Copies of this chain bind each other. A is one copy, B any other.
Amino acid sequence: MIVIGELINTSREGLEEAVKNRDVEFIQDLAKKQEEAGADYIDVNCGTLIKEEVEAMEWLVNTVQEVVDVPLCIDSPNPKALEVGLEAHEGKALVNSITAEEERFAETLEILKEHDARVVALVMDDDGMPNGAEDRIRVGKKLIEDLMKAGIAEGDIFVDPIIQPIGTDQAVGEHILDAVEEITREYEEVHITCGLSNISHGLPQRQLLNRTFVTLAMSRGLDSAIIDPLDPKIMALVTAAETLLGNDQYCAGYIKAAKSGKLDV
């Protein structure tokens, strides 16, 4: 499981202030804690700052990379912010995200190629958000094919099936799971990732729905998620699921996590 730690995002409480104030200690502490908890990427997103986003992104990448060894996920719909973030980044970053919208695809692709980055591909195009499983599969495949034609390696693509609220459409869970399964079956090296919190929008006990959904999706091929690695309940479920899905030789990772008290949830 490729865990993308989601906590450094200015839409989260207290984060916009910390980034505006260039609070190095606060940001570095949050980055280190996520790495220690098992994050494989540290996401950095300062999209709420709008006009200051580009400078803030450069500062975030430099500040976080000073204290962690894992690569970063440069998270913005703004190609300028992605470019500046990738310039500052050392090693192979993940970009979140590209879409099948014609203009955004072209602009983002150029930046990806220049910096040899991996990329999250959101299954939306100029017609907007996906509707149903078929739509997700169609746009997902188009993105994979177009990215590969442009020279991006299959294993560098992370398809995001776009999570929508189960509270407004009870079929959306199955649609997403079917899309995850189909894309995984057709492209063995492609990764599937997603943010989870939209699934529970408007419902009570949101964390329960979010962590249950990541488990359901792992059973169908999801192998990455943008989550809070400091949430012991979601991390315990992910660890157990990895073991049960055969991705943990001799159950060594599970036993180690249990011994360190991480599974005591």
Contact = CB atoms under 8 A, between A and B. Distances in A.
Interface of A: 166-167, 170-171, 173-174, 177, 199, 203-205, 208-209, 212-213, 215-220, 236-237, 240-241, 243-246, 248-251, 254-255, 258-259, 263-265
Contact of A244 (B205, B209, B249): B209
Count this chain's copies in the assembly: 2
Nearest to A258: B204
Contacts of A204: 254-255, 258-259, 263
10 contacts: A170-B246, A170-B249, A171-B246, A173-B245, A177-B245, A199-B244, A208-B263, A212-B241, A219-B220, A220-B220
Nearest to A209: B240
A259 B204 CA distance: 8
Nearest to A250: B170
Contacts of A203: 251, 254-255, 258
Contacts of A171: 246
A213 B216 CA distance: 10
Contact of A205 (B170, B173, B258): B258
Contact of A251 (B166, B243, B245, B246): B166
B173 A265 contact: no
Given A170-B250, A203-B258, A212-B241, 11 more contacts: A170-B248, A170-B249, A170-B251, A199-B244, A204-B258, A204-B259, A205-B236, A208-B263, A212-B244, A215-B219, A219-B220
